[in-house]
Structure 1
C-alpha cells in the first residue's frame, strides 16, 4: 500500500481504525498529513483513548496526558462515545484539582510549619493542570447525571470499604457484605463506582522485600489507586466473586486485569493464613484448585509472574507449603512441575521484575536437580 494511496484514497474510517490501535501514534502522525489532521479531531481522540485504556479509565488517562490532549470538546466526545463518568472519579477529581502555591510550601518548610511530609511536588500532580473549562464541564456533566446525589465531598471508595465489611475480619466480612449487597449494587450500577487504575507495574519501585514497602499516601499525587485501596477491591471479590459481573455490566472490563495479582495472592493467603489458628488444617490440592479455578473462570489469570509473586509472599513458609502450591499450579496449568518452574525461572530474568529472592530460587532449584543454576538465572 503506497503512501500516496493512504494520503489520498484510503477511506477515513480505515484510517481511524488504524490510528486508534497505535499505542504511541506520534510517528504515525508525522508520516501522513491526513492522519495528523485526524489526530486533532475530538471524536478521533476520544475513540483512541477509549480503545487504548477502556471506557472505565478513559477520562482518567485523558487528564493524565494533559491539556495538550484534553479540552471540553474531547471530554464531551469521550462521554458521548461511552467513556464512564463515575461519581468516585469526580470525587477524586475534585480532591486533586488545582495547583499548589509553591511559595507558600517553601515558606512552611522553611519555618517548620505543617506536616513533616510537606514538600514541593517534583512532578505535576494528576488533574492539577486540568483546564478549568474542562473541570467545570465534567462537574456539570456529573451534576446532570447524579443530581443531588453527586456528593462531591464524599468518597465512594470508603463507602465500598464499609459496605463490603472492610473493618471486619475475613470471617465476619461476608455477613456484612451480604447485608449490604443492595447498597453495593447501587454504588456500582447507579453511581458507576470504579476504582482508579493501578500504577503500571513498570513504574513501581523495584523492591521485592514486602517488609520495606513504604506507606502510600492517599490520594496519590499521580492519581492512581494505591495498593491499600486496591486490596479493598480484591478482598470484596474474594468474598463475593459475583461483584466482578456487576463491574462488567457497567463496562468496567479491566477489573480482572487491575486486581489480578492481589486476588490470586489473596485467595491463597486466606487458605494459608500468616498466623493460622489451632483449628487450621492445610488444604489439599483439590481445594486449592477449586478455589483458583473459580476465580480463573471469572476472568483472573494464574500467570508465571503471579506464581513468582505468590512464592515471594510465602517465602518463609515454602518448606511447609511450597510443594503443594507448585503441584496445584502445575495441575491448573496442565503441565509438569518441572516445566512450570522452567517458565517461572525464565520470568525471573525479566528486568521489569527485578527478582532477587535467593530463598525462592533455592526452593525452585530443589525440584530441578539436573539444571545447573548458572544456566537458569544470571544476576
Structure 2
C-alpha cells in the first residue's frame, strides 16, 4: 500500500506546474519532491526526453543530482555528444579579473548586459554531477575517442553548407549527407532548445532583458541556442526535409515544434525573396501549397501565429502578394479566410510591437465577413483588455500598463468612434492604467514616473487617456469607484467638466480640447477605412440618447448616493481633488434638473441631508 501511495504521489507530482508549492503542503509531499524518480518523471513530462538534460542542468544543483541523472537515463533521456561538448565549454567559473581587463583593453563594456542574466549555464554544477554526466555520456555513446573538444553545431553548420549562399548550398549539403546522417544518428546531434520569449510588459526590466538577449554570444550564457544557429538548422531542413525523420528516429520528436516558425517562414521567404533575381517568377497558389505541404507532411504546422508572422513580414508588399498568400493558406487549412483573418487579428495587435503602421490590421479586417467588432471582442478578450483589478487590488499591484499598445486603441477610436462597445472596453483598460500611475505617484510623491514603468509607457498611457477624453467618449457609472481614487485633475476634469455636463445638459466649462503635455506621436489613420462601422458622436446625439434613456437616471442615483454617503462621510478613499470637483458639479445640478430626472423615474426621490 505504501508503494502504491508513492507511485500515485509521483504521478500527481509529474503534472504539477510548480512543484515547490506542492512540496510545502506536508512532509510526505516534501519527500516526494526530493525523490529522483519524481523529479525525472516531472522534468521529462515538462521538457521532453530530447531537452530534459539541458533543463536539468539549467535548474542547477538544487535539482540535478547523480540519482536524478540515473533516473533520467533509465527513462531514455537523450544524451548527445553536442551536450557533452557544451557542458565542457560552460563548466567552471570564469576569471572575472581577466575578463574585466580584457574588456577594458578592447574597450568593450558588457556589464550592462550581464547584470540582467543568470550565471552561465552549467558553470556552477557540482563536480560530482559534472563527472557523472561525462561518464554516462561516454558510456551511452560507446565511443572511447569521443570528440568532446569539438563543436557539433559548428560542424553541422559547415556540413550543411551554412557559409554558402542558398543557390549553392543544396549541392554541398547532399555531398555531405553521409556525415550529417552519422552526426545525427550516431552522435545524436540535437540542437539545444530555442530561447523562450519573455512575457511582454512596459517595464524597465523587460527592456533591459531584451537588450541583453539581443546581444548574442556563442555559446550563449543561458545555454539556449542562438538565432543564428537555429537558422542554420532550419535552412538545412528546407534544403532536405528528410533530416526531420532522421532526428525523429533518435527520439527528437520536438524538432518540428522547435523549428516550426523558422522553417515555415523560411519556405515562404524563399518563394518571395526580398530582392528577387531578374529571372524570378511569382509563384501561384499551387506552388505555395506544394512547398508547404512538403513540410507539413513531415510534421510542421501552418498555425495562426505563423500565418500572421508571414503576413507581418510582407506588410510592405500586401498589395502585391497578400491575396495570393491568404488564398493559399485558406486551401491548406481548409477554413474560411474570414476565420483565418479573425484568428490572425489576435497576433497582429500583440503589445510588444510598435504599431507604427496599420496596413496589416486593415488588410485582415477587410477579410472578416461578419461584423469586425465580434473579432475585435475576441482579440481584446485574449489580452484581457478592460478592468483587471478591483479598487483595493489596484492600489497594491506592482505593474499596470496598457494591455495593448496605445496606437491600437487610437486606431479603434478613430475607426469605430466613441460610442462603440469595443472603444469603451479599450477606455476601461486606459482608465485603470492611468489610475494606477496616479496612485503610484501619490504614494511616492518625489517621482515623476512610477519606478518600474518606462517613460515611453508613461507618456503613452497619459496621452491616450486625454485623446479618448477629447473625443468625448462617454464615462460610465462603473468608472466612478476608480476615478474617486484619482488626485490628478487631468484625470478628474473630463468626468466633471465634459462627460457629466453633456449627460445633464449643462454648459461646458472647459476649453476644448484638453491639453496633452506628453511626448507622443500617433501614426496616420486612414479614416476613410471602414467608415460604415463608425457612429459619429456629438453632444446633440448624446443628449438625445440620454434624455430618452436611462443613463441620466443611473448617473443621478450614483452621484446622489456618493454625495450623501462617502462624500459627506469624508471617506478616506476619496481624494481631496475628486471631492472638490464632485461638490462643484453637484452644486450645478439645479432643482429643475432634479425634478426632470425624478419625473422620468418614480423610483428616484431627491434626498435631503439629515439635519441634527
**Cα offset for 1:364?**
2.2
| SS at 2:24 equivalent | helix
Q: CA RMSD in A?
A: 2.6
Instruction: Compute the displacement of 1:18 (Å).
Output: 1.8
Q: 1:88 touches 1:155 (CA, 8 Å); kept in 2? A: yes
- Preserved CA contact (<8 Å) 2:339 2:368: no
Give the Cα–Cα distance (whole angstroms) in 2 for the partners of residues 240 and 62 of structure 1: 32
What is the CA-CA distance between 1:262 and the residue it aligns to? Answer: 0.1
Residues 108/299 of structure 1: CA separation in 2 closer, same or farther (3 Å cut):
same
Structure 1 residues without counterparts, runs of 5 or longer: 1-6, 208-212
User: CA, structure 1 residues 374+59, in 2 after alignment: closer, same or farther (shift >3 Å)?
Assistant: closer
Bigger CA drift: 306-315 or 220-229? 306-315
Q: Compute the TM-score of the two structures, normalised by the length of structure 2.
A: 0.56
1:35 aligns with 2:29: yes
Partner of 1:137: 132
Q: Which residue of 2 aligns with 1:339?
A: 339
SS at match of 1:259: helix
2:164 to 160, 168, 180: 168
What residue in structure 2 maps to residue 260 of structure 1? 260
For the residue of structure 2 that corresponds to 1:147, the secondary structure is coil
Aligned to 2:121: 126
What whole-Å deviation, never above 9, does each CA across 1:5-50 have from its counterpart, x for those lacking one?
A: xx97963222222211222222222235333212211122122211
How many aligned residue pairs are there? Answer: 365
Q: Compute the displacement of 1:225 (Å).
A: 0.2
After superposing the two structures, state which structure 1 stretch, 333-342 or 112-121, moved more.
Answer: 112-121
CA deviation profile, 1:341-360 (whole Å, cap 9, x unmatched): 11111233555x65735332
Match of 2:461 in 1: none
Superposed, 1:134-283 pairs within 5 Å as 134-144=129-139, 145-202=141-198, 214=214, 216-283=216-283
Q: Tell me the alpha carbon deviations over residues 283-306 of structure 1, each in whole angstroms, 9 at most, x when there is no partner.
A: 111111121122122111111111
Query: In the alignment, which residue of structure 2 is the partner of 1:47?
Result: 41
Q: Secondary structure at the match of 2:274?
A: coil
Which piece of structure 1 moves more, 169-178 or 320-329? Answer: 169-178
Q: Please, which of 5, 14, 17 is the counterpart of residue 23 of structure 1? A: 17
Q: In 2 relative to 1, CA 94–203 (structure 1 residues): closer, same or farther, beyond 3 Å? A: farther
Listed one character per residue, the Cα deviations across residues 290-346 of structure 1 (whole Å, up to 9, x for unaligned) are 211221221111111111111122222222111111111122111221221111112
Change beyond 3 A, Cα 1:302–1:374: closer
Cα distance in 2 for residues equivalent to 1:8 and 1:135: 34
Shift of 1:158: 1.2
Distance 2:28 2:195 in 1: 34
How far, CA to CA, are the matches of 1:142 and 1:203 in structure 2?
35
Give 1:3's aligned residue. none
Is 1:58 aligned with 2:52?
A: yes
Q: Distance in 2 between matches of 1:215 and 1:291?
A: 34
Q: Unaligned 5+ residue runs, structure 2?
A: 208-212, 381-407, 410-612
State the Cα distance separating 1:115 from its structure 2 match. 5.9
Task: Tell me what 2:72 maps to.
Answer: 78
Q: CA deviation at 1:86?
A: 0.6
Deviates more, 1:307-316 or 1:147-156: 147-156
Q: RCO (CA 8 Å, sep 6+): is it higher in 1 or 2?
A: 1
**How far apart are the structure 2 equivalents of 1:189 and 1:360?**
43
For 2:294 and 2:109, how far apart are their aligned partners in 1? 43
Separation of aligned partners in 2, 1:143 and 1:63: 18
CA contact (8 A) 1:349 1:355 kept: no
Q: Is the 8 A contact 1:146 1:191 kept in 2?
A: no
Decide which structure has the larger Cα Rg and report it. Answer: 2
Alpha-carbon distance in 2 for matches of 1:280, 1:181? 29
Q: Distance in 1 between matches of 2:135 and 2:273?
A: 47
